[in-house]
Amino acid sequence: MRASDRSQLLLAAVPVVFGTQQVIEGLLWLNLPMASDRAGVSTLTLLFLLFAEVLWPVYMPLAVLLIEPDARRRTLMLPWLALGAAVATYLAWGILTRPLGASILGEHVVYVTDNKFSFAAGVAYVGVIAIPFVLSTQRVIGLFGTVVLAGWATAYFFYWEALVSVWCFFAAAASTVILLHFEKLARYRVAAGTG
C-alpha cells in the first residue's frame, strides 16, 4: 500500500479488501456446482455476505471520514457512519440467524436468504455508501463514489436478481480509482523528494 499516513490506510486498503471479497466469490462460484461440498459453499456464502452487507456499510463511511480534511464535512459524515453501523448490525443479525444460500443464475451468483431486506434498509445501505462520497472534498472520493453509484444503478436495473454480486463486482473494479490515486501520490512524493 502507498498510504503516506495512518488516516489513509482504510482507503488505501479498499482494493485489497474488495479483491479478497472477489476471491471468496470466485471460490464460491467454483464450489457451487459440486453438491458434495455443501459446508464449503455455506462458509463461502456467509463470508461473502459478511463482506458485502456488514463490512462495507461501516468501512466506507469511516474510510472517507478519516481522510476528510474539512472539520465541518467530517461532522456531517458522522451520522452516516452511525447509520452504517446500524445497517450493518441489522443485516448481520439476519445473516447470522437465518438460512443462507447461493446459486448460479445465468452468469451470476445469486444470494438467497430468508432475511426480508426491507426497503428502508436498502435505502439506508445505499445512503451510507453514497452520501459520504458526496460530502467529501476529496476529488478521488467523489470519482470513486460516482463510479460505485453508476455500478449500483446498472446492477439494480439490469441484474436485479444478482444485485449484491454484480454491484460488488462493479465496486471492486471501481476500486482501481483508489489504487491509481495512491500510485499517483507516491510518484509525486518520489519526484518531490519527500517519499
Please check the confidence at residue 41 and state whether its pLDDT lies above 70: yes
Q: Whose CA is closest to 126, among 158, 91, 100?
A: 91
Q: Residue 1 domain-assigned?
A: no
Domain tally, the chain = 1
Backbone angles phi, psi at 60, to 5 degrees: -65, -50
Average pLDDT over every residue of 3-11: 80
**pLDDT confidence of residue 162:** 86
Predicted local distance difference test score (pLDDT) of residue 176: 85
- Domain membership flag for residue 173: yes
Whether 165 is in a domain gets the answer yes
End-to-end Cα, the chain, rounded Å = 13
Residue 137 in any domain: the answer is: yes
Q: What is the mean pLDDT of residues 182-187?
A: 76
Closest to 113 (Cα-Cα) out of 84, 91, 89: 91
Banded model confidence at residue 35, pLDDT cuts 50, 70, 90: low
Q: How remote is the C-alpha of 12 from its chain's centroid?
A: 13
**What is the reported pLDDT for 115?**
65
| Rounded Cα–Cα distance for residues 178 and 19 (Å) | 13
Q: For 112-117, what is the mean pLDDT?
A: 71
Averaged over 4-22, what is the pLDDT? 88
Range of the domain at 183: 6-192
131 domain-assigned: yes
For residue 104, tell me if it sits in a domain: yes
In a domain, 100, yes or no: yes
pLDDT number for residue 86 = 96
> What is the rounded CA–CA span in Å between residue 50 and residue 96?
9
- In a domain, residue 83? The reply is yes
pLDDT at 66 over 80: yes
User: What mean pLDDT do residues 168-176 have?
Assistant: 84
